Chains A and B, each alone.
Chain A
Amino acid sequence: MEVWLLTLTLLLYLLSTVSFIVGLFSARPVVRTVAPGCLLAACVCHAGAIAVRSLTVGYFAVTDMYEALSFFACLTAAMGLLVQWRLPVSILGAIVSPIGFILTLGVYVFYTQAGALPPTLQSAWLPIHVTAAYLGYAVFVVAFSASLVYLVQEKQLKQKKASSFLRRLPSLETLDHLNYRSLAWGFLLLTLGLLSGAVWAGYAWEHFWIWEPRLILSVLTWVFYALLLHYRSAGWRGRRAATLTIACFAALVVSFVGVQFFPGRHGGQFG
């Protein structure tokens, strides 16, 4: 059931990717309603797969590499859907859909059979800590996407290439605004993730903090985002903010992937 749902999810992500890309070049209004529909269906299926897994194992399934990746992919797609539903930024769908697709492909690679939950992870803090942190990451994907589109749009405007593609992209102001808002929300969620992690560590390890690569990298990323947000509110807008958002996101990805190579006490095998 779970694998079956995941396969369906993968197909829907692919369909959504294709229809969003077609939507970028086609003026037909049909395409623009079909694409979000596909993405919504993909999210629902994906959430279904996670729910099935959680019910099977009897705990919130976000502990190993496979589960965590799947959860993150689902959150990212859902976040993209949410934002493009509220703001005129359908281009976002064209970015989060392929991300969802690729991550779900990764989910297949790391697929594991459901196992028992290690005793260290048996805590009510698990869902809080993981959800806050991953939601924060998902929002940062949105900030990253907005910045990427901003740079494309800005370059076209500066070089005076007024193609019809340009007109389909959101305005610079919309993108910059989205960048700011998602940075702020993402930062808030990331902070919550770190704090809940610290509290949980306080209970589980009797230390709020241990010197371990995973934790250090996470805090370092947090500091990067804090600085970015600070300079943003001080008036770093537009291209500079977009470039830095991309740099911060790169740092996030590096720490995310990098920590996989360091053994440590931090629970789970991912993030």
Chain B
Amino acid sequence: MEVSLASLVQPASSLMVVGLNHHTTPVELREQLAFSDGALDASLPRLVDAETIREGAILSTCNRVEVVAHTPDLDTADEKIRAFLAEEQRVALPHFAPYLYTHTNQEAVSHLFRVASSLDSLVVGEPQILGQVKDAYNVSSTLGTLGTVLHRCFHKSFSVAKRVRTETSIAAKAVSVSSAAVDLACTIFDHLEDKTAMVIGVGEMGEQAVRHLRGRGIGTIMVTNRTFRRAVELARTCNGTVVPFDQLDKHLHLTDMVIGSASSPHYILYSGMVEEALEERKRSPMFLIDLGVPRNFDPRLNNLDNVFLYDIDDLEQVVEDNRGERQVEAVKAEAIVAEEVEKFWRWFVNQEVTPTIVALREQAEMIRSREVEKTLAGLAELSPQAKESIEALTRSLTNKFLHPPLAYLKQRHHNSAKREAEYTQESASPHVIRQIFGLDTPEE
């Protein structure tokens, strides 16, 4: 029985992701295919219909355009989505078809989970993507293009992303020099709200570092530069105060962090100067970040107690190490994703299978009790024991008959972890069982 059923059909419904991303597709093409927020509202309802695409959502960011769909027919849906993209964005299909990928079933779920967890991002672990996935979910949810399956799939992707975030340190590592510097500041200082940072010079690196510091809530920022006017400009953008360059040493003791990003042929900070400042600030620690090339600060400053000096090479090294650690963390994250895909898939298959099991049992019981009733009506003289035996006999018969299909359905549920290829070959859908047993045809 299993063999004949197995050769019949595909699973009743499937999940799929069709799209393209930054890994393979040039930005010019991604731009053309990206949906603006407003455009999504108009386009998305055209994607979803009752037959081919039951549920659908579109994730469109500057790095990816992806359509997530729940469909009873993978091939037709794939074609439809491709045509949809071409039509909506007015780009000829052959133009972008080579870049498109199609993930189906577990792979589709896995892809969505990986995207939401920022494992598929350009900078692995960057936090924005989860927000973008949530936006995509909200838009399609408002437009009513989601059903039970995708609702749950998206919600799962959020919780997977959260698990990845809390259980691995994939997002905890800075991957730019300026954010690495700010991270280090947090291992020296408890909080930055009551700290003062001084920026010497108006180089771009320094400016970035200041922006990061502002983002982490630094208390005060002082800016100094040889050309006073440019210091004023920078101070205005970062809401800082300006210190005249020749009064730098007088303000040094007030600063907990000094960022050097000046282009200067010789050292701007040297031991004597910093030591005086340290005395004055009762040896409170100072964090010196030298982003200048050639270096702005005397490297021997690192030998002073309570002074921590990092130059651009040190920071590059930190960033490099972080990248390496991110790779290690990514392996852990992939394991979490795999585990959650498995859980979700079990649910997905189960929600298809359970109603069929229930319907099958109910139908059998209905037939059985009706037939028993008919028979017993004509055998009024039978003893209660004999009636009981007939009941038992019929129950046992239906159970024996139902056993193979029920076992088959349950097994299908348990084998859901199998690779998709094996899966479609070996199993038929609950849909087929429903047809064979006439579960969907109304009783005459």
User: Which A residues are within 8 Å of any B CB, using their own CB?
Assistant: 27-29, 153, 157-158, 160, 162-164, 166-167, 169, 171-174, 176-177, 235-240
Is the beta-carbon distance between B306 and A167 smaller than 8 angstroms?
Answer: no
Is the beta-carbon distance between B190 and A177 smaller than 8 angstroms?
Answer: yes
Q: Shortest CB–CB separation between residue A181 and chain B, in angstroms?
A: 13
Q: Shortest CB–CB separation between residue A168 and chain B, in angstroms?
A: 9
Is the beta-carbon distance between B321 and A162 smaller than 8 angstroms?
Answer: yes
Tell me the nearest residue of chain B to A241, going by C-beta. Answer: B283
What are the residues of chain A within 8 A of B322 when measuring CB–CB? Answer: 162
Q: Shortest CB–CB separation between residue A115 and chain B, in angstroms?
A: 50
Report if A166-B187 is in contact (Cβ < 8 Å); known contacts: A237-B282, A238-B305, A239-B305.
yes
Q: Type the 1/0 row for B300-328, where 1 means its CB is closer than 8 Å to any CB of A.
A: 00100110101000100110011001000
Interface size class of B (residues with CB under 8 A): 20 to 34
Q: Shortest CB–CB separation between residue B35 and chain A, in angstroms?
A: 36
Known: A160-B318, A172-B187. 19 other contacts (CB 8 A): A27-B168, A153-B187, A157-B184, A157-B308, A158-B302, A162-B183, A162-B187, A167-B169, A167-B172, A171-B188, A171-B190, A173-B190, A173-B285, A177-B190, A235-B282, A237-B282, A237-B283, A238-B306, A240-B283
The 6 closest A-B pairs by CB, nearest first: A235-B282, A173-B190, A238-B306, A237-B283, A162-B318, A174-B190
Is the beta-carbon distance between B318 and A164 smaller than 8 angstroms?
Answer: no
What are the residues of chain B within 8 A of A237 when measuring CB–CB? Answer: 282-285, 306
Query: Could you show 10 A-B contacts with beta carbons less than 8 Å apart?
Result: A27-B168, A157-B187, A162-B322, A164-B325, A167-B172, A172-B285, A173-B189, A237-B282, A237-B284, A239-B306
Q: Which label, helix, strand, loop or mixed, suits the secondary structure of the A interface?
A: helix
Residue of B188, B314, B317 with highest tally of chain A CB at under 10 A: B188
B168-219 contacts to A (CB < 8 Å): 168-169, 172-173, 180, 183-184, 186-190
What are the residues of chain A within 8 A of B167 when measuring CB–CB? Answer: 27-29
Q: Shortest CB–CB separation between residue B348 and chain A, in angstroms?
A: 27
Q: Does B375 contact A (CB under 8 A)?
A: no
Partner of B188, one of A157, A164, A235: A157
What are the residues of chain A within 8 A of B190 when measuring CB–CB? Answer: 171, 173-174, 177
User: Which B residues are within 8 Å of any A CB, using their own CB?
Assistant: 166-169, 172-173, 180, 183-184, 186-190, 282-285, 302, 305-306, 308, 310, 314, 317-318, 321-322, 325
What are the residues of chain B within 8 A of A173 when measuring CB–CB? Answer: 188-190, 285
What are the residues of chain B within 8 A of A176 when measuring CB–CB? Answer: 285
Tell me the nearest residue of chain B to A173, going by C-beta. Answer: B190
What are the residues of chain B within 8 A of A164 when measuring CB–CB? Answer: 169, 172-173, 325
Partner of B283, one of A29, A177, A235: A235
Q: Shortest CB–CB separation between residue A182 and chain B, in angstroms?
A: 16
Once bound together, how far apart are the Cα atoms of A174 and B285, in whole Å? Answer: 12
Once bound together, how far apart are the Cα atoms of A160 and B305, in whole Å? Answer: 15
Once bound together, how far apart are the Cα atoms of A35 and B325, in whole Å? Answer: 25
What are the residues of chain B within 8 A of A169 when measuring CB–CB? Answer: 187
Is the beta-carbon distance between B317 and A171 smaller than 8 angstroms?
Answer: no
Is the beta-carbon distance between B188 and A160 smaller than 8 angstroms?
Answer: no
What are the residues of chain A within 8 A of B166 when measuring CB–CB? Answer: 27-29
Once bound together, how far apart are the Cα atoms of A73 and B283, in whole Å? Answer: 35
What are the residues of chain A within 8 A of B189 when measuring CB–CB? Answer: 171-173
Once bound together, how far apart are the Cα atoms of A3 and B322, in whole Å? Answer: 49
What are the residues of chain A within 8 A of B317 when measuring CB–CB? Answer: 160
Partner of B308, one of A158, A177, A236, A240: A158
Tell me the nearest residue of chain B to A237, going by C-beta. Answer: B283
What are the residues of chain A within 8 A of B173 when measuring CB–CB? Answer: 164
